[in-house]
Amino acid sequence: MANALDENSRSLWMDLPSPQTAPLIGNVTTDVVIVGAGISGLSTAYELAQQGLSVIVLDKGAIGGGMSLRTSAHLSWELDDYYFELSKRRSKEAAQAYYESQRAAVERIETIARTESIDCDFARIDAFIVASGKDGDETLDKELEGARGAGFADVELTDAPKGFGARALRFPNQARFHPAKYLYGLAEALARQGVGLHSASHVEAFKEEDGKVIATLVNGPTVTARIGVVATNSPINDKVAIHTKQAPYRTYVLAARAPKGALPDALIWDTEDPYHYVRIQPEDDHDIVLIGGEDHKSGQEDDGEARIAGCALGLKRAFQDLARPPTLGPGKFMNRSTTSRTWAAILATNASMSSPVIPAKD
């Protein structure tokens, strides 16, 4: 898979310069080698370094780059594929495990940001699923029961935020952040702890030998470790078992400058298919509103312009009562104007719906 930084579009988060790190030169030995320096890889490195292990992180591209910078940066244990669906397709226990794991992940990000003094615009905010489409109200009723069954005791049926319809489910105490600020701050914390961070270090092969893991780079160096972790967006060590269970999806995001306070500081999803989502990124004298969605299986559609137009239409509907709507600029797909930005990302989804790992019972 091509590196995310090689794509034509650039996300809002990519305006910040990435950490300056050097490629790996020469063979090294360590406790743990991690391939992939996005949020999964850097988070894993942090936890292992906290346990006193020596860690080396390798990435084909930049540290803190890749698909982690193509997100819309919702931090939530609300499930946009719905708890009632996960319970039906897997089990109630799987839904509960998802709830617990995602909540713990958001809380961990908050703790790390506070502990390491990472200024990443982290804030606790409400999330809403708003009823839209012919089955919207029925979906809300099902999800209210499903979310509560998974452990979401404080979810409630309420009025939708202004401009987003009539009814909604409110999920309190969710969060948002600036992913680049967080990842770059996390990289600085890892460097202080002695973790080796190496960009432009493309791993081409893994092998296990004599109880060790050996990662070989395209230009020759090797990393020998007791433990190997693959934290890439799509696994590079297994060409069959995981890939045959994944369905890659393309998703789109449009970001536009909006008047300060014009939209609530909240995470908002609709119930359409494909669905849409909205959030803001606060700036000093204005907000950046992000609306995304219009997902489709990668390689099965060739209508990026229409997908972005669908996002823009949803944005205009949300601001229809405003005297000063967001500035959309030229409206061209993948434009890089100062008034608006569009980008795309690839999501790898379990074709039979994600199934979290459930700890074995004693």
Mean per-residue pLDDT, 242-248 = 73
Q: Are residues 216 and 278 part of one domain?
A: no
Distance CA 191, CA 110 (A): 20
Number of domains in the chain: 2
Predicted pLDDT at 164: 82
For residue 23, what is the domain's CATH number? 3.50.50.60
Q: Which helix (H) or strand (E) holds 297?
A: strand 287-297
- Shared domain for 293 and 259, answered yes or no, is yes
Using 50, 70 and 90 to split pLDDT, how confident is the model at 265? Answer: very high
Are 226 and 133 within one domain? no
Share of the chain above pLDDT 90, in %: 51
Range of the domain at 229: 4-70+181-235
For the segment 139-167, the average pLDDT, to the nearest whole number, is 93
DSSP state of 161: P
Q: Is residue 173 scored above 80 in pLDDT?
A: yes
- What's the whole-model pTM score? 0.87
The tokens of 156 are what?
Answer: 């409630």
- Cβ-contact 32, 227 below 8 angstroms: yes
Domain membership of residue 278 (yes or no) is yes
- Structure confidence by residue, pLDDT tens digits, 77-111: 999 889 999 999 999 999 999 999 999 999 999 99
Same domain, 268 and 142: yes
Residue 83, classified by CB atoms within 10 Å of its CB into exposed (0-12), middle (13-18) or buried (19+), is buried
Cβ of 352: how many Cβ atoms within 10 Å? 10
**147 occurs within a structural domain:** yes
Residue 34 is assigned to a structural domain of this protein: yes
For the record, the structure tokens of 285 come out as 């004298």
Beta carbons within 8 Å of 267's beta carbon, 6+ residues apart: 74, 76, 78, 125, 126, 127, 128, 174, 176, 277, 278, 279
16-75 pLDDT tens trace: 988 989 999 999 999 999 999 999 999 999 999 999 999 999 999 999 988 888 888 999
Tokens describing residue 158: 């309420």
Pairwise pLDDT comparison (301 vs 332), residue with the higher score: 301
Shared domain for 190 and 170, answered yes or no, is no
Domain holding 278: CATH number?
3.30.9.10
